[in-house]
Amino acid sequence: MNKLPLMHIVLFLLTFASTLTVGALHQGADIMADPRLIIKGLPFSLTLLGILLVHEFSHYFMSRKHGVDSSLPYFIPAPTLFGTLGAFITMRSRITTRNALMDIGSSGPIAGFLASVIAAVVGLIYSDVRAVSSSGETIILGDSLLFFLLTKLVIGQVPEGSDVYLHPVAFAGWIGFFVTSLNLIPVGQLDGGHIAYAILGERHRVISRLLIGLLLILGVFLFAGWAVWAILLFFLGSKHPPILYPEIPLDPVRKVVGLIAFIVFIFTFIPVPVFIQ
């Protein structure tokens, strides 16, 4: 086996281990006292990794379809609230047309979004409604518009003084929505940046810079994490690399796909993803 596939496999296994550990800890398992309890993290880990795999391999296969040399997914293990910082692929050759760029950029978030919807609905069915504990500080997850609507649809009205305690599968679905919205921000070479560039061409760079500034403002007044994301995007670059044949126009079907991706972004965006209460 050559080094490149080995790197992908090792990173995936490390991410499996980190998400499995985080999933078990979220379930209250004392894995230091009894390491066998780590299996309690399986529902969370397998669901989240499944969503990320669907997202990244949609990019990968669409890249292959359009003749773009792309890597297999790189997973990023991390000891965070989620156990991972996501995954990505790298494209080693230039994209040919706006249509190819739209297909590659939109396929991942739309496929990952659909997988997240399934996870969220199934997980919400098995989630609990409990009285909110008044002792100590609690980490609260913010709601996207879609997750709020799905909660109302599946669980119904939550009584005053109570809250929904998410099943691990639902939590993975929530993360899937969050990852989708992050990727659909139309900046630089994010998925949203690919989509915006396919529609706007070089005009995308103006929007990219404006949105980095807007994220900084949101970071100051709403959620500090947006400022961190803005700084990271600034250093990654707001400019999108040119395509080979920019004169070939985007066809009407791809324009509709771009609109669908924008609607998905609106419905999955979480102004304040996490706060302490």
3 state SS for the chain: CCHHHHHHHHHHHHHHHHHHHHHHHHCCCCCCCCHHHHHHHHHHHHHHHHHHHHHHHHHHHHHHHCCCCECCCEEEECCCCCCEEEEECCECCCCCCHHHHHHHHHHHHHHHHHHHHHHHHHHHHCCEEEECCCCCCCEEECCCHHHHHHHHHHCCCCCCCEEEECCHHHHHHHHHHHHHHHHHCCCCCCHHHHHHHHHHHHHHHHHHHHHHHHHHHHHHHCCHHHHHHHHHHHHHCCCCCCCCCCCCCCCHHHHHHHHHHHHHHHHHCCCCCEEEC
Q: Which residue has the tokens 């609905």?
A: 121
pTM: 0.94
Q: What is the pLDDT of residues 144-173, one digit of tens each?
A: 999 999 999 999 988 887 889 999 999 999
Q: What is the pLDDT of residue 40?
A: 97
**Left (φ > 0), alpha (ψ -120 to 50) or beta: where does 93 sit?**
beta
The Cα–Cα gap between 226 and 231 comes to 9
Residue 3 has what pLDDT? 52
Angle at the Cα of 256 from the Cα atoms of 253 and 257, rounded to 5 degrees: 90
CB 70 within 8 A of CB 59: yes
Residue ranges of the chain whose pLDDT lies below 70 = 1-4, 134-137
Q: What is the pLDDT of residue 1?
A: 40
Angstrom distance (rounded) from CA 272 to CA 141: 8
**Residue burial 11-45, b: 16+ Cβ < 10 Å; e: rest:** bbeebbebbbbbbbbbbebebeeeeebbebbbbbb
Give residue 2's pLDDT: 45
Q: Which amino acid would we find at residue 18? A: S
Backbone angles phi, psi at 77, to 5 degrees: -75, 145
